[in-house]
Amino acid sequence: MYGAELADVYEAVYRSRGKDWNAEALFIAELIRDRFPAADSLLDVACGTGAHLAGFAKLFGRTEGLEYAEAMRAVAERRLPGVPLHAGDMRDFRLPARFDAVTCMFTAISYAGTLAGMRATVRCMAAHLVPGGVLVIEPWWFPEKFIDGYVSGEVVRDGDRTIARVSRSTNESGVTRLEVRYVVASAAGITQFTEVDRLALFTLDEYLGAIEDAGCAAEFRPPDPSGRDAIVPAGRGLFVGVKRA
């Protein structure tokens, strides 16, 4: 998953869907400072290509990222030459610094794979917070909201190339199997590749329990019907934890 072929088209596809990483970073920064007004350092876990982290870097005095996928991390490194980017598994990482905020965006938490893996991820993230620090997690779908057999597709014009993407999602014993096929056409020719992702379906109570057990006061912020929560256009909501002293 998340190899060089996907890293090359990843942002173009989601940008075509209206995703605005800078606006989302601003929204999350406001949410963090509502709970910790002096927050000035942030770690973005599973930071991908660094699209959110680039926004956070404009809003916090010190930012760092963690990313497992080498190809995605390489894009982030080119984008953010002055920002420390760590190679690591979100389920088991140890950095020397502590942060006022830790984020895990765009459903990345679901790649923890199992409930034990998700809980380990939350523990790791919470361990890197200062007392009073804020944890923000954007989840994948809850099991009761997931549509088994859901299909989607789009065609994207990106500069001198055209990208077609089709996907199908199925529920395999509590884990989403997301198969995505891409066709990329440019003057150089036509290439195609397939990604198969597995995203675990955790319940609301499982998320809240993991955050509480990691030493944080936990809350679930459902999507705002007014549309102000640009971060959750798909209606999944956000989890927020505040680390206890």
125 vs 103: CA distance, rounded Å: 8
Percentage of residues in the chain having pLDDT higher than 70:
96
Distance of CA 85 to the CA centre of its chain: 15
pLDDT above 60 (res 243): yes
Instruction: Scan for tokens 């409930």, then name that residue.
Output: 115
pLDDT above 70 (res 233): no
Q: Using alpha carbons only, how large is the chain's radius of gyration in Å?
A: 18
204-213 vs 115-127: helix axis angle to the nearest 10? 40
Q: Which of 35-44, 140-149, 226-235 has the lowest mean pLDDT?
A: 226-235
141 vs 163: CA distance, rounded Å: 26
pLDDT given at position 195: 97
Band of residue 235 on the pLDDT scale cut at 50, 70, 90: confident
Mean pLDDT of the chain: 95
> Which domains occur in the chain, in start order?
4-142+202-243 (3.40.50.150), 144-200 (2.20.130.10)
pLDDT given at position 224: 76
Helices and strands (DSSP H and E) totals, the chain: 6, 11
pTM of the predicted model, to two decimals? 0.96
For 214-230, the pLDDT digits (tens) are 999 999 999 876 656 55
For 16-35, the pLDDT digits (tens) are 999 999 999 999 999 999 99
62 vs 83: CA distance, rounded Å: 8
Q: Within 17-130, where are the H helices?
A: 21-35, 51-57, 70-79, 115-127
pLDDT above 80 (res 241): yes
pLDDT above 80 (res 76): yes
Band of residue 1 on the pLDDT scale cut at 50, 70, 90: confident
pLDDT given at position 223: 84
Where b means 16+ CB within 10 Å and e means fewer, 51-69 reads bbbbbbbebbeebbbbbbb
Instruction: Scan for tokens 């010190």, then name that residue.
Output: 62
pLDDT given at position 13: 97
